[in-house]
Amino acid sequence: MRLSLVFLLAACAPAPAAGQAVAPQAARPALVVFITVDQMRPDYFERWPAQLTAGFKRLYDGSAFYARGEQDHAITETAPGHSTILTGRSPASTGIVTNELGVPDTAAPLVRVPGPGASPRRFRGTTMYDWMKAADPQIRVLSVSGKDRGAVLPIGRAKVPVFWYRFGIFTTSRWYADTLPAWLERWNERQGAAKLAGKQWDLLLDATSYAEPDSQVWERGGQGFMFPKRFSTDSQRVTFELMPTPYMDSLNLDVALEGVKALQLGKRPGRTDLLSISLSATDYIGHTYGPDSREIHDHIIRVDRFLGWFIDSLAKVVPLERTLYVLTADHGVTSFPEFNRSRGRMSGRANADTLTALADQALQQRHGKSFGLDFNNGLLYGDVAALKAAKVNVDSLSSALASSVARITGVTRIYTPRSLAAADTADVDAMRWRRSIPADFPWLAAASLAPGYIWSFSPSATTHGTTNADDLRVPILFMGPGITPGKYQRARTVDIAPTLAAILGVKPGEPVEGRVLPEVVKPR
């Protein structure tokens, strides 16, 4: 998509065992297009049905659609969520527990631009790409995202074309390559991000088409929350400003299409290639303005148009009848607590950061060193091996910390390693924590929150990360050859990979936790 075009567009069968494959039900697709919309809630498809007229509409109407898809683990963040979608396994198996402990890697610096390096070094096991490659060593693949973790984790450890946005260009890290391919260099030379300098994001439709008020003061910290959103005239500064706007996703889709053409994806007779796209702007906008904002409403309408353009454009390269689309999200999002309270709902912000810092300081004063205690979305962890070496009674420490966290307003359930191991399988939250924490992870306490509560100390943004439905719930859909459209209820993101494997007739490289969805792959 050239920049001018961007603005025109803007105006219950069990899973097979690891060694088993199910024959495809229809002609083998030439290309699997896997789309993750970061922070996409399934109810967005249903809030504005008359206004979704392009990509989202086609995907919703023409697919096997699951309105109660779930990221069925506890820490509903971007990195853990992306690690489940093409693996069939939970974060406890993939080893991706949190964003901070996901893809950051100083040993894998970026190509051409500064900034934190990234790699799948912490990722464990295999992905759909590995399974497809085992069946077809010549498979072609491309993964593109606005975020490093969105590009890296769906593919796993393979050193293949994986690119993400940074400082106005799409780049990669030296885990994958020392230089960028010529086609991507040419795309970057267009300076599509920088050319947004001096432009603005205004409503796509008439203001009367939006029921949401444009004056909710909790949005964006109470500053700059009204339309239009004007970009700086500085071509460097605008490369950051565009991230919480729809234009980030338009650039992402454009570079993905360019890569498909350059790498000749979907052009091998009788073979299937893989394209993974993770659209990041919904997450940036959702955090900044919230899921009940006019901004998210306008953004979803615009992404609908962008996706419609992308589907039509890709169909000119790979026939639509030979393309299999899969769409989901890495997590949902909870409304601003301030918004909920304005509607008379119980809601709030919980914070254990101070408690954690004080506990680490107390241990440091007693033992002369820090044990690296940290807290992330309900999980309190640290250097357990060092604690044991210092003769700290870790079980007692864990119990004391859990008792302190349990007193925080909004906390409904608290677990220690010992109590989680003993928890009954009927305890849904406990099972989600088990699916989040690898057996060798050094943690001390884990807490769940009441509905409407978030782990946050700042009133300037809302977030996700809990075991609550708003954070867990994601759309899941399959559209393509041999798939009968229909509307269904519950599925989990770990069901996606085994279902795809069954469609393609490939074997999972290891045992998976998900099942083959019978509405997509009909039992024989």
Please compute the mean of the pLDDT values over residues 212-239 and round it to a whole number: 92
Please compute the mean of the pLDDT values over residues 393-398 and round it to a whole number: 98
Quickly state the pLDDT bin for 16 (edges 50, 70, 90).
very low
Please compute the mean of the pLDDT values over residues 199-219 and round it to a whole number: 95
Of the candidates 145, 181, 149, the one whose C-alpha atom is nearest the C-alpha of residue 163 is 145
CA 128 to chain centre: 17
pLDDT tens digits, 236-261: 999 999 999 999 999 999 999 999 99
Please compute the mean of the pLDDT values over residues 394-398 and round it to a whole number: 98
Structure token pair of residue 261: 């053409």
Of the candidates 351, 347, 337, 397, the one whose C-alpha atom is nearest the C-alpha of residue 371 is 397
Q: Which amino acid is present at 34?
A: F
Quickly state the pLDDT bin for 203 (edges 50, 70, 90).
very high
| Concatenated DSSP letters of 197-228 | TT-EE--SS-GGG--S-S--TTGGGGSS-SSP
Q: What is the pLDDT of residue 520?
A: 97
pLDDT tens digits, 100-158: 999 999 999 999 999 889 999 999 999 999 999 999 999 999 999 999 999 999 999 99
Q: What is the pLDDT of residue 3?
A: 36
Q: What is the pLDDT of residue 225?
A: 86
Class for the domain spanning 3-339+467-504: alpha beta
Q: What is the pLDDT of residue 10?
A: 38
Quickly state the pLDDT bin for 21 (edges 50, 70, 90).
low
Quickly state the pLDDT bin for 7 (edges 50, 70, 90).
very low
CATH number of the structural domain 348-451: 3.30.1360.150
Higher-confidence position of 144 and 18? 144
Identify the sign of the CA torsion 212, 217, 220, 222.
Answer: positive
pLDDT tens digits, 297-307: 999 999 999 99
Please compute the mean of the pLDDT values over residues 231-237 and round it to a whole number: 95
Q: Please tell me the distance from the alpha carbon of residue 371 to that of residue 369, in angstroms, as a whole number.
A: 6
Q: What is the pLDDT of residue 26?
A: 61
39 pLDDT above the threshold of 70: yes
Quickly state the pLDDT bin for 222 (edges 50, 70, 90).
confident
Structure token pair of residue 439: 């057996």
Question: Is 508:88 a contact under the CB 8 Å cutoff?
Answer: yes
For the chain, how big is the Rg over CA atoms in Å? 23
Higher-confidence position of 522 and 208? 208
DSSP-assigned beta bridge partners for residue 230? 200
Q: Please tell me the distance from the alpha carbon of residue 287 to that of residue 82, in angstroms, as a whole number.
A: 18
DSSP-assigned beta bridge partners for residue 445? 380
Q: Please tell me the distance from the alpha carbon of residue 463 to that of residue 465, in angstroms, as a whole number.
A: 7
Q: What is the pLDDT of residue 384?
A: 98
Q: Please tell me the distance from the alpha carbon of residue 57 to that of residue 305, in angstroms, as a whole number.
A: 10
Domain ranges of the chain: 3-339+467-504, 348-451
From the number of C-beta atoms within 10 Å of its C-beta (0-12, 13-18, 19+), residue 306 rates as: buried
Q: Which of 74-78, 111-115, 333-337 has the lowest mean pLDDT?
A: 111-115
> Considering the entire predicted model, what is its pTM?
0.94
Q: What is the pLDDT of residue 219?
A: 92
Burial of 321-360, coded b for 16+ CB within 10 Å and e otherwise, reads ebbbbbbbbbbbbbbbbbbbeeeeeebbbbbbeebbeebb
Q: What is the pLDDT of residue 458?
A: 84
pLDDT tens digits, 461-497: 999 999 999 999 999 999 999 999 999 999 999 999 9
DSSP-assigned beta bridge partners for residue 144? 163, 277
